[in-house]
Amino acid sequence: MIDLHTHSCFSDGTDTPEALASLGDAMGLRALALTDHETLAGLPRFMAAQSSVKTLLVPGIELGCRFVGRELHVLGLFFDPDDPTLQTRVETLRVRRNVRNEALIARLQSLGIPLRLEDVQALAPSELLSRTHFARCLVNLGAAATPSEAYDRLIGEGGAAFVPFEDLHPAEAARWIHEAGGLAIVAHPGRFAGGNFIWDEAMTVLQDMGMDGLEAYYCDYGPSEQRYFLDLAAALRMIPSGGSDYHGDYKPGLQLGTGRGSLRIPDSVLETMLEHLERRIPA
């Protein structure tokens, strides 16, 4: 069993990279990827834990993109985390995020919500501030009853204070990942556009943009949805990936490896990826 989609305290999770590696090892996972949002900052500590665990630790990242006018996430897996070009490119995303966060604060304040940037920073264990931290802060202020309400009513797409992030084009995200030696995977397509989007043609377009695979196993998929994406990956000869989207305490009831209890990502997913990477390496 493997898990190729998780988050640490360096983005919007609560576990340290070392704790994440130890937990995956204790569960007997064959492979575990750390895929924090728009940051590589947790990877040195995560990869350094390899010497103390049997689980294969995989460097990863989750990049926000824009596709047909909606937010689409792309996972990068198995790239070189020390690649200087990738590091520079990811740093530009941190700057974009800071600009978005300042605009989000201004928008919330214009609605009469006295949220300050330092209030959000107090909830984040690292310098990266995500909307997860904003949502928790809004709950603490009494501006929303739950983080979900904060997203739906205020800071998510369609919310009164929503400020779009300057997202990447999917082809750009795939190029960044490929040039650093990794695989580009469409993350949780079943969550895109409310889950009602028809993917048969759209995934072909994304494949032409450079996507190597798609997340066919995911914590919130039902059996029919999982089968749909597995069949789609097979039909397009794309790599089926999978992950729990584990965030620690920020997503109660969601466990590493098993998601909400029924997630099982077979080792064959890892083997397919390694074979794909081996074929890509020039002789």
Residues 76-97 pLDDT 10s: 999 999 999 999 999 998 888 8
What structural domains does the chain harbor? 2-83+169-280 (3.20.20.140), 91-155 (1.10.150)
Report the pLDDT averaged over residues 169-184.
97
Which pLDDT belongs to residue 41? 94
Which pLDDT belongs to residue 283? 44
Percent pLDDT > 70 in the chain is 97
Bridge pairing between strands 70-77 and 56-67: antiparallel
Torsion of CA 154, 156, 161, 164, to 10 degrees: 170
Which pLDDT belongs to residue 175? 98
Element (H, E) at 173: helix 170-179
pLDDT tens for each residue of 12-47: 899 999 999 999 999 999 999 999 999 999 999 999
Reported pTM: 0.85
For the record, the structure tokens of 57 come out as 């630790």
Which pLDDT belongs to residue 282? 56
What residues contact residue 223 under an 8 Å CB cut-off, 6+ apart? Answer: none
Amino acid identity of 227?
A: R
In whole angstroms, give the CA distance from residue 171 to residue 176: 9
> Higher pLDDT residue, 143 or 70?
143
Which pLDDT belongs to residue 194? 63
